[in-house]
Amino acid sequence: MSTQVAICLTSRGNYARTGTLLHALDDDPDTELDIIVAGASMIRKYGTLSELLREDGLEIERELYNVLEGGTPVASAKTTGLGMIEFTSVLNELDPDGVITIADRYETMSVTLAASYLNIPVIHTQGGEITGSIDEKVRHATTKMADYHFVSTEKSLDVVKGLGEEGDRVFLTGCPSIDLVEDIDQNGNDQYDPQEDYAGVGAQIDIDEDYLVVQYHPVATEYMSEYDRTWELINAVDDLNVQAFWFWPNMDAGTNQVSKAIREYRDQRSPDDVRFYINMHPDDYLTLVSNSACMVGNSSVGIRECSYLGKPTVNIGNRQQMRERGPNVLDVKCETEDIKDGINQQLSAGSFERSTLYGNGNAGEKMKQIIRQTDLTMKQPMKPEQLDL
Amino acid sequence: MSTQVAICLTSRGNYARTGTLLHALDDDPDTELDIIVAGASMIRKYGTLSELLREDGLEIERELYNVLEGGTPVASAKTTGLGMIEFTSVLNELDPDGVITIADRYETMSVTLAASYLNIPVIHTQGGEITGSIDEKVRHATTKMADYHFVSTEKSLDVVKGLGEEGDRVFLTGCPSIDLVEDIDQNGNDQYDPQEDYAGVGAQIDIDEDYLVVQYHPVATEYMSEYDRTWELINAVDDLNVQAFWFWPNMDAGTNQVSKAIREYRDQRSPDDVRFYINMHPDDYLTLVSNSACMVGNSSVGIRECSYLGKPTVNIGNRQQMRERGPNVLDVKCETEDIKDGINQQLSAGSFERSTLYGNGNAGEKMKQIIRQTDLTMKQPMKPEQLDL
Amino acid sequence: MSTQVAICLTSRGNYARTGTLLHALDDDPDTELDIIVAGASMIRKYGTLSELLREDGLEIERELYNVLEGGTPVASAKTTGLGMIEFTSVLNELDPDGVITIADRYETMSVTLAASYLNIPVIHTQGGEITGSIDEKVRHATTKMADYHFVSTEKSLDVVKGLGEEGDRVFLTGCPSIDLVEDIDQNGNDQYDPQEDYAGVGAQIDIDEDYLVVQYHPVATEYMSEYDRTWELINAVDDLNVQAFWFWPNMDAGTNQVSKAIREYRDQRSPDDVRFYINMHPDDYLTLVSNSACMVGNSSVGIRECSYLGKPTVNIGNRQQMRERGPNVLDVKCETEDIKDGINQQLSAGSFERSTLYGNGNAGEKMKQIIRQTDLTMKQPMKPEQLDL
Amino acid sequence: MSTQVAICLTSRGNYARTGTLLHALDDDPDTELDIIVAGASMIRKYGTLSELLREDGLEIERELYNVLEGGTPVASAKTTGLGMIEFTSVLNELDPDGVITIADRYETMSVTLAASYLNIPVIHTQGGEITGSIDEKVRHATTKMADYHFVSTEKSLDVVKGLGEEGDRVFLTGCPSIDLVEDIDQNGNDQYDPQEDYAGVGAQIDIDEDYLVVQYHPVATEYMSEYDRTWELINAVDDLNVQAFWFWPNMDAGTNQVSKAIREYRDQRSPDDVRFYINMHPDDYLTLVSNSACMVGNSSVGIRECSYLGKPTVNIGNRQQMRERGPNVLDVKCETEDIKDGINQQLSAGSFERSTLYGNGNAGEKMKQIIRQTDLTMKQPMKPEQLDL
């Protein structure tokens, strides 16, 4: 009898961080995979996901529209509530043996709670990491709701166990996004042409010369000042004489503030060395990053995937505050001069040693094996000794 | 400038467990209280709350209907999702300095998440306790979402800190329900007449003779077999020659299974020494318990309030599994013979020493002082040393 | 290419009123049927529907829980809003050529609007009738949203056209419930035993003697006084020396008031000639009615199905006010004496001539043929001449 | 005792079309007004409304975020369902004597249904008009839900009565937006400077020279081809040598298609005589229109307000199909050449005779008087003679 697991993807990042697991589950005759696409993944301006999954040979069980407009905390909260209502219907109907819930975005709570309240075991990935923003609350709360934990780093393993989770339900697997990076590193991705294949807007970039990849997301807990912060970054990139691929922000509260600044920059200065993108297929995006001179912004890609690539990263502000990082990351404040200095410093650094902090390229397969070999159950009440009390 | 805090009450139990805090906040000119009544508290068959609050002199800011019908896990999950949508609107409008979230019922998650996503600090009561059912997941997840913790027992204090919460955000206050018990103990509640004042159905009870208080709630994670389990309890009570006040179950998944068995018992056997109630004012309910010979079922009242009263409790099944308890509690399996034996044993025991495990009668005032003296903020990311790593 | 139509069933009444159409669509290789079960049909206390459909050989595409608890106007309105959200997801995914919306219950608006806003043609049954309560508003509003109309009576045909609907989109088909009645009349339903097959509660009825079928639903626009009105009816039935099968009310606002009165009647008087039921399979229910001496209450069954059966009906109060009726219906006020007099008068009347007012037994087949032969489209804006202006 | 009425505003258009009524109700001590701001009015990119209302001296009772992102039929339907849930809570709490529902936008159905199901009388404005798109269904369905009708034109009066509404519940009041136009016409609006006061983007316009006002909204029933249609319009405006103020589309399904075309036009051609706006205060917007050479697009403003102004309008495509119009309107297909010819023809026409088709400037006051003098009740079931049957 095969094990049926459901997963809900709400962003392209979700796919990058679980892709090799999804394909492993899909390929194995002893496991069955139900993919639900929802959230930002259903909205054109954040980059839709379904077509891309189908092209990659994955079937989609359900598509759900649940994003409230506004780019505010209210929109985030209602999006989660609405998602919870609809995921409940879907999970109740699909009735899987387990539900995979990914990382720490606020809307993942709707999947985690729907599954938990339906008495379906929850498998959580990327637990035990430590960062800023509302993600921090969501991540650890999810750990306490989840029944199984697939963590990326040794320290995360300690944190999840430290939070009282039973040792035999916590697995150090690494992050499937490192599998992708490893694959690109080994096998390349020759055919891709970021400017031919994707409808970016702005300047033509010479990809044989140095270029930055810039990705700056709003921080929900401080979202009202993101317009000003985005301009700090814009002025830094604009001052430097280096090309850039710039990606629009995710849908977190503050998204409109970030977007407004970018749009004004584009309209008012028409920069001749910056090209703007919504997003790309994870493979192509990681190839772009891999070939870049430096990653700039506050995306976790600069910390996770770039650690394995040894790619220099300028990490800005509080969003990734406290996240475990390799030697490739330089932290700077969100001020123009600091960012400029940081980029210059990282450009001269060139590249760094590979770090296997976030995995060594076989996370998806490991995760699949555990799912396949486990009779998924809900965890027992926490025993005080699990907290070393 | 006064501190404005909001609270959402979804059951009479919520009121019993926070009542003295609410009155303390209401009475203090330096604090402002916004009460939202929702969930089961808006549904007649579970006992409505608003009128009772008004009679007690408390004002109600909003009433929200968000309970899905069905008494199933699906209903629980959608109730929570719907609550999350509407609490978001209400909290966004009231814009309090903090939100109090109570204990561990599944629907409290909607308040906790709405407040968290709106960047409003969350104050959690009754964290750090350990029990069975979905409550266990909800409670610890709430701890990881919350910014302040008012715990009832010393062990809970250790657990909450063990879960990585900063020491100066965790307060051992005891449980406000013990304040009520203490007040009844000191001042009595003479005027009350449980059969005159409340519209119970069934036999007339002689309250000068021994009587049981029976309260049995469904366990959501095993809700499909609650019909049979309820009959195990019914047969035990029916076999014994002792009077009983029996309270209908709460709205958790399985409520209809429990209710069906009770209804059939009433219809088929018309017991001449059992009287059935929806609920009572916390003061009257606790007086009834205080005057009873023994508490029977799986309500936490048998463990918390009865520990202070030294009242014998027969605690049935897994629902309170692992909850810290005083000497007054006898645990039995949910089987007729075990329950009968348990009741007989506890009836002969008479009464127990007072235990101050869950507080010593000044919890509400303590909590209010902390709220008043604290500049409420959201907590910082967890530091590994908070987990002793 | 086959025509795919979706239908949402929210009550057993819905199934009785469309059953022969559903089976006709299901049997025809040129039509495809998607059944969604929702609303009261998912709630045990109102009688679940899915199992019954499956036993009848119909497949269910989706089940949705959307009923808010409370039995109040607020619950009705939120149930409709929640239904609208979820039907949108389901209809968007099923993408049918048309959606059938039934009659005039408040929650049908959620299906009608979801389909209309998704640009899916809407087929409405039972339009053009005239009654009291909120149903009246819902029915005519639905006519103005719908693209095709399958009406039951000649006068309804005139009303729907009078409301400005194009003649070639309005079809006089009769009501499929008359098909059921005709079938029972022709072929009988011998095996059925209402007391053996269904878990009624109360007295044992001698079905070879005279018995009433009593069904009284709340009127949403006057729901607060339904407790008193129900007692008027109870006292009438209780005073008369005649057996009765009594059916619990539907979920309209006021349902708890009606139920409370019935429950008290049962508890306090334990009537020895009344048996209480939630509901039955439409075939069995109509057989029960067909074999009864008289139908009593305010269900439309007393008016529609009973007109064809020539069965005497005592119709109480305003709920069916103005609905077209045959000679079998005697209208009385909701007062004990009037009801008693009415029942006595109808019992002596015996039976009435068959009326084909609501159809002559081939409605389902007619409707199916129209669906099959029509290229379903949305209607054009109303031309003034359609209103005879 | 004063009459309390609630209204929900979901767009600036809503405010323009009810503004003088709102101020009349607000000024009268015998009426009380509860304003709820929701829908597109809460979203920055569609133009928020609350601040503007407050500047005009109106108080806001509630603000609700209910817009789903996507600009698709699914988003429209879910927005309406979500609105219905939350309006129910708000109206249940405010408990007004009547609710005003405006015109025919899809989301108004949520207000209409919430009020109707709560047994609150509904007052509908702009009923009886005839147009294309989903609005046509919504408008007439709203007429059948509503209890009172304030219509704008004589023909609308006939249509509403023709739909079976009782004569003494239908009032010919004219449209409050004509009151605004009349006021601007009489008193001017000297201080306004559209380029100083509002943050438009694009070219500087010389407002002493001829300019167009362009407003093109998507048609929900054909929304997938709106990108192409918008380019037909863009090419027409771009080819002509005339200045233009161009307003972004409303949030109807297809909004992203229209916006995408406009954004590309702006990015690719940077037109030196077009300026882009989200919206303006109704007074300033109508002054801008009043001073323009010609209105172009498919907004109802070109038909209603411009008829009174005698302002030439080029009305494009099906959206306003069949709406009653004065001599100022020239209808053209949505093809570049037709639009160009139409604009040229209207520019040479200059101006037209004032038409009082949509009112003569005292609609708000008339409506208020009716509300004040009426004991608001729900209508009775429709009598066949109301349909001339």
Q: Within an 8 Å CB–CB cutoff, is residue B117 touching chain C? A: no
Q: How far is CA A55 from CA A27, A59, A150, B185, in A?
A: 15, 9, 27, 71
Per-residue DSSP letters for B287-306?
A: HHHHHSSEEEES-GGGTTHH
* Contacts with A, B 11-50, CB within 8 Å: none
Q: How far is C92 from chain A (nearest CA, A)?
A: 9
* Contacts with C, D 271-300, CB within 8 Å: none
User: Is A83 in Cβ contact with B77 (below 8 Å)?
Assistant: no
DSSP code of residue D270? -
Interface test with A, best of B67, B72, B79, B84 (most A CBs within 10 A): B84
Residues of C in contact with D114 (CB under 8 A): 77, 81
Q: How far is A351 from chain D (nearest CA, A)?
A: 37
Tokens 């949705």 belong to residue: C64
User: By C-alpha distance, which of C197, C211, C293, C281 is closest to C246?
Assistant: C211
Strands A148-151 and A170-172, sheet pairing: parallel
**Residues contacting residue D196 through CB under 8 Å, at least 6 positions apart:** none
Average confidence (pLDDT) over C331-339:
97
User: Which residues, given as ranges, of chain A have pLDDT below 70?
Assistant: none
Average confidence (pLDDT) over D379-387:
91
* Contacts with C, D 161-190, CB within 8 Å: 162-164
Q: Within an 8 Å CB–CB cutoff, is residue D63 touching chain B? A: yes
More confident residue, D357 or D194: D357
Confidence of residue C189 (pLDDT cuts 50, 70, 90): confident
Strands (DSSP E) along chain A, which ranges? 3-9, 31-37, 62-63, 98-102, 122-125, 148-151, 170-172, 201-202, 211-215, 243-247, 274-277, 294-297, 313-316, 329-332
To 5 degrees, how large is the angle CA D51–CA D369–CA D152? Answer: 75
Q: Within an 8 Å CB–CB cutoff, is residue A387 touching chain C? A: no
Average predicted confidence (pLDDT) for chain B: 95
- Which one of A62, A85, A93 has the shortest CB-CB distance to C85? A85
pLDDT higher than threshold 80 for residue B199: no
Give per-residue pLDDT as tens, B112-135: 999 999 999 999 999 999 987 789
Residues of D in contact with B86 (CB under 8 A): 85-86, 89
Q: What is the 3-state composition of chain A as percent helix, strand, coil, each rounded to the nearest 5?
A: 45, 15, 35
Give per-residue pLDDT as tens, B235-245: 999 999 999 99
Interface test with C, best of B46, B48, B69, B266 (most C CBs within 10 A): B69
Confidence of residue D196 (pLDDT cuts 50, 70, 90): confident
Q: Within an 8 Å CB–CB cutoff, is residue A201 touching chain D? A: yes
* Contacts with C, D 315-334, CB within 8 Å: 321-322
Contact D149, D122 (CB under 8 A): no
CATH numbers and ranges of domains, chain B = 3-175+359-387 (3.40.50.2000), 183-349 (3.40.50.2000)
Average predicted confidence (pLDDT) for chain C: 95
Percent of chain D having pLDDT more than 70? Answer: 100
User: By C-alpha distance, which of B85, B178, B75, B82 is closest to B125?
Assistant: B178
User: Is C89 in Cβ contact with A65 (below 8 Å)?
Assistant: yes
pLDDT higher than threshold 90 for residue D384: no
Give the nearest chain C residue to D86 (CA atoms): C78
Q: How far apart are the C-alpha atoms of C379 and D140, rounded to whole Å?
A: 13
Contact C131, C165 (CB under 8 A): no
Q: How far is CA D191 from CA C15, D185, D209, D283, D284, in A?
A: 65, 14, 18, 11, 10
Q: How far is B215 from chain C (nearest CA, A)?
A: 22
Give the nearest chain C residue to A86 (CA atoms): C86
Q: Within an 8 Å CB–CB cutoff, is residue C201 touching chain D? A: no
- Which one of B63, B85, B92 has the shortest CB-CB distance to D85? B85
Per-residue DSSP letters for A326-343?
A: -TTEEEE-SSHHHHHHHH
- Which one of C63, C64, C93 has the shortest CB-CB distance to A62? C93
Q: Within an 8 Å CB–CB cutoff, is residue C63 touching chain A? A: yes
Q: How far is B121 from chain D (nearest CA, A)?
A: 22
Residues of D in contact with B64 (CB under 8 A): 89
On whether ipTM exceeds 0.90, the answer is yes
Q: Within an 8 Å CB–CB cutoff, is residue A220 touching chain B? A: yes
Q: How far apart are the C-alpha atoms of C97 and C119, rounded to whole Å?
A: 10
- Which one of B42, B43, B68 has the shortest CB-CB distance to C67? B68
Contact C169, C148 (CB under 8 A): yes
Average confidence (pLDDT) over C132-154:
95
Give per-residue pLDDT as tens, B207-227: 999 999 999 999 888 888 999
pLDDT higher than threshold 90 for residue C221: no
Give the nearest chain D residue to C222 (CA atoms): D119
Q: How far apart are the C-alpha atoms of B382 and B378, rounded to whole Å?
A: 12
pLDDT higher than threshold 80 for residue C132: no
User: Which partners does chain C have (≥3 C-beta pairs < 8 Å)?
Assistant: A, B, D
Confidence of residue C200 (pLDDT cuts 50, 70, 90): confident
Percent of chain C having pLDDT more than 70? Answer: 100
To 5 degrees, how large is the angle CA D191–CA D285–CA D179? Answer: 90
Q: How far is D367 from chain B (nearest CA, A)?
A: 31
Q: How far apart are the C-alpha atoms of C288 and C307, rounded to whole Å?
A: 15
pLDDT of residue C193: 84
pLDDT of residue C45: 85
Confidence of residue C1 (pLDDT cuts 50, 70, 90): confident
Interface test with A, best of C42, C67, C82, C85 (most A CBs within 10 A): C85
Give the nearest chain C residue to A65 (CA atoms): C89
Give the sheet arrangement for strand B313-316, strand by strand: B201-202, B274-277, B243-247, B211-215, B294-297, B313-316, B329-332
Average confidence (pLDDT) over D283-291:
94
Give per-residue pLDDT as tens, A30-44: 999 999 999 999 998
Residues of D in contact with C219 (CB under 8 A): none
Contact A285, A177 (CB under 8 A): no
Give the nearest chain C residue to B46 (CA atoms): C70
pLDDT of residue C190: 74
